[in-house]
Amino acid sequence: MKMSKMYIRTLREVPAEAELPSHVLMLRSGMIRKIVSGVYGYMPLGKRVLNKVENIVREEMDAAGGQEILMSAIQPAELWVESGRWGAYGPEMWRVKDRNSREFCLGPTHEEIFTDIIRNEVSSYRQLPVNLYQIQTKYRDEARPRFGLMRSREFIMKDAYSFDRDQEGLDASYQNMYDTYTRIFNRCGLKFAPVEADTGAIGGSDSHEFTAFAENGESQIVYCEKCNMAATDERAECVDAPASDAAMLAAETVHTPGTKTIEEVANFLGLEKSQTIKALLYETLDDDYNVNGYVAAFVRGDREVNEIKIINLLGIPEHALVMANEEKMAEVTGCVGGFTGPVGLKNCKIIVDSEIPGLRNLCAGANQVDHHTLNLNYGRDFEADIVANIKMIAEGDPCPVCGAPVKFTRGIEVGQVFKLGTKYSEAMGATYKDENMKDQVMVMGCYGIGVSRTMAAIVEQYHDDNGIVWPIPVAPYHVTVTVVKAKDADQMALAEKIEAELSAKGIEVVVDDRDERPGVKFKDADLIGFPVRIVVGKKAAEGIVEYKLRTGGDAEEVTAEEAVSRASELILTALNAHK
């Protein structure tokens, strides 16, 4: 392919909003273009990479027994009403109406659509298991789209749904997808780990997030080097501190002027933060976003609350738990912002972390301005509506599996596998006749890969100061042949000979024959990130070229034949490594 004929627009500068390396580089290299906030278009180079990621996904999904279909992006509200989720996703769900004012959404995911297909067409155990998948555009109206393809409002997802006869069947389907995802992300060159994840609002029992390691990732990953435990911070269990055997002292309310934070009250009273109780005040919202209740959560003063755990405890959608308006909450519950404690609250659900009952003589707000109460003990001085593990694990806390101190890292969620169970098949009547002609509910799993997000994750992991450093299996082209002087007949002839020989071996070559200064061509080759660069310059007449790998190392003068044979060896080996 001649660069002079290609539609490639590399940029020197990008909009200030692009901060993440992948966002900056995918714009600068001409791979994507912003249409509107959170919506991107794929330009030729970007589309080639997208195709390669999709084809890796497709090959592995087909090899795993998945069958590809393509469902509509537009979805009728009726199916979401049936599954009970039409109201569960607030403004993130992109709703539209047709000319007859019928309600639809632009599909954020397709559990309802796939279940509807299957329930109408599968009726016997002989037809199960089945695993259908699609690679399709999804829509989620993110409040704050950012980081380019990393968190966009329109994105490309491979989503698969498995339908089995029973739990055992689902376990096998889940493991099959888990292993398939491992192959897919390995082939993409990603450094990743499957981590235990929270199943959130979609219910079900097990879930793993395939997380690509990246310091800019939005996922906080907790892991243990000793036993290989890995989980998202939201999912990780945080073990309770050992119970205290100290005697209970008499409670006493003291004047603590202006000590609104744990830090201030601990310093003022000469206590450790771990001897205090921290209050977090929430309001819960109904489907119309009206406040329908108050929640006061209490954890040890040196801990943080894990809000996902509270959401799951209350069985409410994620957007239905928000920080309370403290003035309004005070009128209803008697709490006092900055001085809230568990004694004397009313009209509010009190949730106390599981380790609090085992602790002794804690200091908490007295629900009175400028006052705290010392020596509070659960059971004697206060009770809770719910006692549950709602604390967030912190770096250095004991691993919930082996006790070694856990470490934190960050990552980008590029895939997620879920055991859904019967949540959708029950709600939508997806049943089959078993061997005894008895009606059984199908058991489902669902499996997503953020295809466009995977591209961004690869760039996050593979770039340097000069641009992108594509892993060979997903590079837009494998080799760039940079002609120093396109008008020089010897140079062009040799370049085209090299292109022809490599192309004959199935290697994708772009010849940079643009009428540009060599420096511009070298910078663009590094920015776009072609794995191999062969420079044809003034020694073309002697058949000598320069061979350089994008992954580093110096440029080397070799014969054109040597360059072709090295490039072939490197590229074909990389393309066949997974076979």
Binding site for ligand 9G3 (CB under 6 A): 89, 92-93, 108-109, 111, 140, 159, 202, 416, 418, 446, 448
The answer to whether the peptide bond before residue 129 is cis (omega within 30 degrees of 0) is yes
Q: Which residue has the tokens 């395939």?
A: 210
Is the distance from CB of 116 to CB of 160 less than 8 angstroms? no
Minimum CB distance to ligand 9G3, residue 443 (Å): 16
Q: Which residue has the tokens 């309600």?
A: 103
Minimum CB distance to ligand 9G3, residue 420 (Å): 8
Token pair of 540 as six digits: 């073309």
Q: How far apart, in Å, are the Cα atoms of 410 and each of 183, 193, 230, 452?
A: 22, 11, 12, 19
Helix, strand or coil, per DSSP, at residue 378: strand
As beta bridge partners, residue 407 has 223
Minimum CB distance to ligand 9G3, residue 140 (Å): 5
Query: What residues contact residue 243 under an 8 Å CB cut-off, 6+ apart?
Result: 358, 359
Minimum CB distance to ligand 9G3, residue 209 (Å): 10
Specify the residue, 94 or 530, whose C-beta has the smaller distance to ligand 9G3.
94
Burial class (CB in 10 A: 0-12, 13-18, 19+), 99: exposed
Minimum CB distance to ligand 9G3, residue 444 (Å): 10
Specify the residue, 43 or 197, whose C-beta has the smaller distance to ligand 9G3.
197
Determine how many CB atoms are found less than 10 A away from the CB of residue 14: 16
Q: At residue 404, what is the residue type?
A: A
Token pair of 480 as six digits: 């760039």
Specify the residue, 89 or 339, whose C-beta has the smaller distance to ligand 9G3.
89
Specify the residue, 108 or 194, whose C-beta has the smaller distance to ligand 9G3.
108
Specify the residue, 42 or 139, whose C-beta has the smaller distance to ligand 9G3.
139
Minimum CB distance to ligand 9G3, residue 199 (Å): 9
Q: At residue 221, what is the residue type?
A: I
What's the half-sphere exposure (Cβ side, CA atoms, 13 Å) at 267?
8
Specify the residue, 140 or 391, whose C-beta has the smaller distance to ligand 9G3.
140
Is the distance from CB of 238 to CB of 400 less than 8 angstroms? yes
Phi/psi-derived region of residue 275, left when phi > 0, alpha when psi is between -120 and 50, beta in every other case: alpha
- Helical H runs in 462-517? 489-504
Specify the residue, 83 or 491, whose C-beta has the smaller distance to ligand 9G3.
83
Minimum CB distance to ligand 9G3, residue 446 (Å): 4
Minimum CB distance to ligand 9G3, residue 69 (Å): 14
Specify the residue, 447 or 470, whose C-beta has the smaller distance to ligand 9G3.
447
DSSP string across 83-131: HT-TTTTGGGSEEEE-TT--EEEE-S--HHHHHHHHHHH--BGGG--EE
Specify the residue, 111 or 526, whose C-beta has the smaller distance to ligand 9G3.
111
CA atoms of 544 and 72, how far apart (whole Å): 54
CA atoms of 256 and 550, how far apart (whole Å): 63
Token pair of 339 as six digits: 């001085």
Specify the residue, 157 or 297, whose C-beta has the smaller distance to ligand 9G3.
157
Specify the residue, 108 or 531, whose C-beta has the smaller distance to ligand 9G3.
108
Specify the residue, 109 or 568, whose C-beta has the smaller distance to ligand 9G3.
109
Minimum CB distance to ligand 9G3, residue 210 (Å): 11
Closest residue to ligand 9G3, Cβ-based? 448
- Helical H runs in 292-367? 307-314, 326-333
Helix, strand or coil, per DSSP, at residue 204: coil
- Closest-CA residue to 356 (of 300, 281, 274): 300
Minimum CB distance to ligand 9G3, residue 108 (Å): 4
Specify the residue, 80 or 530, whose C-beta has the smaller distance to ligand 9G3.
80
Minimum CB distance to ligand 9G3, residue 345 (Å): 34
CA atoms of 456 and 460, how far apart (whole Å): 6
Determine how many CB atoms are found less than 10 A away from the CB of residue 206: 17
Specify the residue, 89 or 192, whose C-beta has the smaller distance to ligand 9G3.
89
- Closest-CA residue to 357 (of 372, 342, 370): 342
- Closest-CA residue to 29 (of 535, 523, 473): 523
Minimum CB distance to ligand 9G3, residue 188 (Å): 18
Query: What residues contact residue 350 under an 8 Å CB cut-off, 6+ apart?
Result: 296, 298, 342, 382, 383, 384, 385, 386
CA atoms of 19 and 574, how far apart (whole Å): 31
Minimum CB distance to ligand 9G3, residue 481 (Å): 41
Minimum CB distance to ligand 9G3, residue 334 (Å): 37
